Amino acid sequence: DQQVKQNSPSLSVQEGRISILNCDYTNSMFDYFLWYKKYPAEGPTFLISISSIKDKNEDGRFTVFLNKSAKHLSLHIVPSQPGDSAVYFCAASPFNQAGTALIFGKGTTLSVSS
């Protein structure tokens, strides 16, 4: 059973518009969440993270929102650019559990057209 779910395999957005990527999780012990971006033939690149004590974290064009009661987080990219076209992975980490790595979703492929 998947603990981190990205239910939309793909998303298409026009350049300049907002991209919203969604992620749901099931484990209430998760306390830290991350977004990664992956281009073909490269490893994932860390984008932005958020701790469970916050509900929003912003870094330039990227903002992550966390809704703990709904066990939902989202990544907003504004404005979207063609270079943002990639696969985006949501990941989660359980609270203070030594020896545990991140748990990843299956990814959402974002296509930004000019």
Partner 1 sequence: ETGVTQTPRHLVMGMTNKKSLKCEQHLGHNAMYWYKQSAKKPLELMFVYSLEERVENNSVPSRFSPECPNSSHLFLHLHTLQPEDSALYLCASSQRTGREQYFGPGTRLTVT
What does the binding site for partner 1 look like in residue numbers (CB under 8 A)?
A: 2, 4, 32, 34, 36, 41-46, 49, 89, 93-94, 96-107
Compute CA distances 8 → 11, 20, 99, whole Å: 7, 11, 30
The CB-of-99 to partner 1 minimum distance in angstroms stands at 3
Nearer to partner 1, 24 or 105 (CB): 105
Q: Which helix or strand (DSSP H or E) is residue 13 part of? A: strand 10-14
Compute CA distances 7 → 20, 66, 105, whole Å: 13, 17, 9
Nearer to partner 1, 79 or 94 (CB): 94
Nearer to partner 1, 19 or 105 (CB): 105
